[in-house]
Chains A and B, each alone.
Chain A
C-alpha cells in the first residue's frame, strides 16, 4: 500500500461544476495535510493546508479532512478552465524536525469550457 494514494485521473468536469479530488494516507500519526497545484512544466504551488478534522474553505477551494477514515479531499467549486492542472496531495511523515512530506502521484484535472 502506498503511503499517500490518489486517483491518477484524468478527472474531467465541465466549466462551472464542482471538482472533487480525493487522497488517502496510511500513517495514522500524520498531522499536516497539503494540496498543491502543478501546471504542466511548472513547479508545485500550495493551494491549501489543513490540520484539523472538518472543512477549511478558501475562496472556491474547500479542503476536507477525516483522520478517522484517513482521507483528505479537495473540492473546487465553479471550476474554471484555468483550474486544469495536476493536483498533488502531501502529508507529513514525521512529527520531528525534518519537515519531510510524503507525496501522492497526483490527480490530473481537466475543466472543459
Chain B
C-alpha cells in the first residue's frame, strides 16, 4: 500500500511564526507536491519536486518555500505565517512514470 504521511493533522500558529509542514512517503516516489485547498477555490498547487533538491513553483508559491533533501521527505515552509494562509494543506506523491497522485491525510493549519 502507498503510504504518504504528514506531520500534523491540525496546527495552530500565530501570525509571523515560521511554520514547517512535513510530508513523508515510503514508496520511493520521485514526484512530490504541496497543495492548499480552500472552499470554492479547489486544489491549488504551491510547489512540486521531481527529484531530490529539485523544485518548481506551482500556481501560488508566494509566501512559501520548500525543501527536499531526501527523496522520501518534502517540506513546506511558511517563512512568516499570515492569516490568509489558514487552509488545508495536502501533500501528494507519484510513482515513477505515473501521473496518479497519492495524498497524505492533510494538515489543517489555522493562523491566528
Chain A residues at the B interface, C-beta cutoff of 8 Å? 32, 34, 41-46, 49, 88, 90, 92, 97-101, 103-106
Q: Does B56 have its Cβ within 8 Å of any Cβ on chain A?
A: yes
Contact with A along B91-102 (1 / 0, CB 8 A): 000100011111
Q: How far is the CA of A103 from the CA of B42 in the complex (A)?
A: 8
Shortest Cβ distance from A49 into chain B, in angstroms? 6
B41 to chain A: which residues have CB within 8 Å? Answer: 105
Choice from A41, A43, A99, A106 contacting B99 with Cβ under 8 Å: A99
Q: Does B64 contact A (CB under 8 A)?
A: no
B residues with CB within 8 A of A: 31, 33, 40-43, 45, 48, 50, 56, 58, 90, 94, 98-106, 108
Contact in complex: B45, A49 (CB < 8 Å): no
- Residues of chain A within 8 A of B42, CB atoms compared: 88, 103-106
When A43-B90, A88-B43, A104-B42 are in contact, do A99 and B98 touch as well, CB less than 8 Å? yes
**Main SS at interface, chain B:** strand
| B86 nearest CB across to chain A (Å) | 15
> A101 with B103: in contact, given A88-B43, A106-B42 (CB under 8 Å)?
no
Report which of A46, A98, A104 forms a contact with B100, defined as CB distance below 8 A: A46
Q: Contact: A99 with B43, CB < 8 Å?
A: no
Q: How far is the CB of B38 from chain A (nearest CB, A)?
A: 11
Q: Once the chains are docked, how many angstroms separate the CA of A3 from the CA of B48?
A: 19
How far apart are B21's CB and chain A's nearest CB, in angstroms? Answer: 14
* Distance between Cα atoms of A99 and B33 in the complex (Å): 10
Assess the A98–B31 pair: CB atoms within 8 A: yes
Contact B50 A99 (CB under 8 A): yes
